[in-house]
């Protein structure tokens, strides 16, 4: 029994590692739509028999399967079935989110929108509640409803401005949508804000620099002239380039 528990725990941890590694796959044309933060997942791992059973069933649903030499994401069905069968368990809660995400990844935006809405209604206290709101906005974008999506993202940014895990990718998304809505100056302000992160490994800052540089090529009138005499900290950001990554001792060259 103890060996089974250890094996289940190991598989669970692998599942979380996979989700974390693949969080940027929720993308529409470079739009990061959700960063699934799973810290504190399954706090009451085996508090009831129903919870334990639901946990085991969730762990038995692979996130991906091999088809020949390619990995294919598991469709939404198994996750949504589990969510329906175990609605009052944490496993059911996370299965509901995974099912909605799978529908989104499959490009089934109206269906995904419905599942994200259902999640918000059913799990208002879930740690994944913000991600469900992001999912709704992403579905609107996927359906081509750019203005509605931008409004939803703005509401999310206002609600979670102090949570970098939510606010940072949402700002990047809003900047891209502002470009689509012909608001380049507003987009540039987001790119400049994100580009100020002094971390060469930050993916959001790197993408903001790249997108900001491309935006300035299209709208050179937005480029600010450098001050006559100012500290380097107040000089305009060098958008369009990323800081050179620090060399890691012993790292192999590409």
Regarding whether 187 and 121 lie in a shared domain, the answer is: no
Regarding whether 200 and 137 lie in a shared domain, the answer is: no
Entry field: residues in the chain: 254
Which residues are 217's β-sheet partners? none
Query: Rounded to whole angstroms, how far apart are CA atoms 9 and 19?
Result: 15
Please count the structural domains in the chain: 2
Q: How confident is the model at residue 237 (pLDDT cuts 50, 70, 90)?
A: low
What are phi and psi for residue 159, nearest 5 degrees?
A: -75, -30
Q: How confident is the model at residue 30 (pLDDT cuts 50, 70, 90)?
A: very low
Regarding whether 209 and 124 lie in a shared domain, the answer is: no
The string of pLDDT tens digits covering residues 109-143 is 999 999 999 999 999 999 999 999 999 999 999 99
Give me the helix-helix angle, 203-218 and 184-195, nearest 10°: 150
For residues 117-150, one letter each, b for 16 or more C-beta atoms within 10 angstroms of the residue's C-beta and e for the rest, the string is bbbbeebeebebebbbbbbbbbbbbbeeeeeebb
> What domain range is 177 assigned to?
145-221
Which residues are 72's β-sheet partners? 65
How much is the pTM? 0.69
Q: Is residue 241 part of a domain?
A: no
What are phi and psi for residue 27, nearest 5 degrees?
A: -135, 135
Regarding whether 29 and 125 lie in a shared domain, the answer is: yes
Q: Is residue 56 part of a domain?
A: yes
Q: How confident is the model at residue 107 (pLDDT cuts 50, 70, 90)?
A: very high
Q: Which pLDDT score, from 0 to 100, does residue 184 have?
A: 95
Q: Is residue 245 part of a domain?
A: no
Regarding whether 162 and 67 lie in a shared domain, the answer is: no
Chain-wide mean pLDDT for the chain?
76
CATH code of 35's domain: 1.25.40
Higher-confidence position of 202 and 33: 202
Regarding whether 120 and 18 lie in a shared domain, the answer is: yes
Closest of 56, 63, 66 to residue 86, by C-alpha: 56
Query: Rounded to whole angstroms, how far apart are CA atoms 102 and 85?
Result: 18
Query: Rounded to whole angstroms, how far apart are CA atoms 196 and 115?
Result: 36
Regarding whether 122 and 2 lie in a shared domain, the answer is: yes
Regarding whether 189 and 134 lie in a shared domain, the answer is: no
| DSSP tag of 252 | P
Q: Is residue 252 part of a domain?
A: no
Regarding whether 9 and 99 lie in a shared domain, the answer is: yes
Closest of 112, 76, 111, 73 to residue 95, by C-alpha: 76
Query: What is the CB-side half-sphere exposure of residue 220 using CA atoms within 13 A?
Result: 1
Regarding whether 215 and 96 lie in a shared domain, the answer is: no
The string of pLDDT tens digits covering residues 178-227 is 999 999 999 999 999 999 988 888 899 999 999 999 999 999 999 876 65
Regarding whether 88 and 49 lie in a shared domain, the answer is: yes
Closest of 217, 233, 236, 215 to residue 225, by C-alpha: 236
Q: Which pLDDT score, from 0 to 100, does residue 151 have?
A: 96
């Amino acid at each position: 029994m103890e060996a089974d528990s250890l094996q289940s725990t190991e598989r669970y941890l692998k599942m979380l590692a996979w989700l974390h590694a693949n969080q940027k796959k929720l993308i529409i044309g470079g739009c990061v739509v959700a960063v699934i933060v799973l810290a504190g997942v399954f706090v009451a791992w085996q508090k009831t028999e129903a919870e334990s059973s639901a946990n085991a069933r969730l762990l038995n649903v692979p996130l991906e399967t091999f088809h020949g030499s390619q990995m294919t994401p598991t469709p939404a069905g198994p996750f949504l079935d589990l969510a329906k069968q175990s609605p009052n368990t944490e496993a059911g809660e996370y299965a509901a989110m995974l099912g909605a995400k799978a529908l989104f990844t499959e490009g089934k935006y109206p269906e995904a929108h419905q599942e994200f809405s259902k999640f918000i209604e059913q799990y208002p206290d879930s740690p994944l509640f913000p991600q469900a709101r992001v999912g709704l906005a992403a579905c609107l974008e996927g359906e081509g409803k750019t203005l509605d999506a931008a409004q939803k993202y703005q509401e999310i940014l206002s609600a979670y401005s102090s949570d970098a895990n939510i606010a940072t990718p949402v700002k990047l998304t809003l900047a891209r949508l502002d470009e689509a809505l012909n608001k380049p100056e507003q987009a540039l302000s987001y790119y400049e804000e994100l580009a100020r992160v002094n971390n060469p490994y930050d993916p959001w800052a790197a993408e903001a620099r790249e997108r900001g540089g491309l935006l300035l090529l299209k709208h050179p009138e937005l480029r600010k002239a450098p001050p006559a005499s100012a500290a380097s900290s107040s000089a305009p950001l060098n958008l369009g380039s990323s800081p050179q990554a620090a060399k890691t001792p012993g790292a192999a060259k590409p």
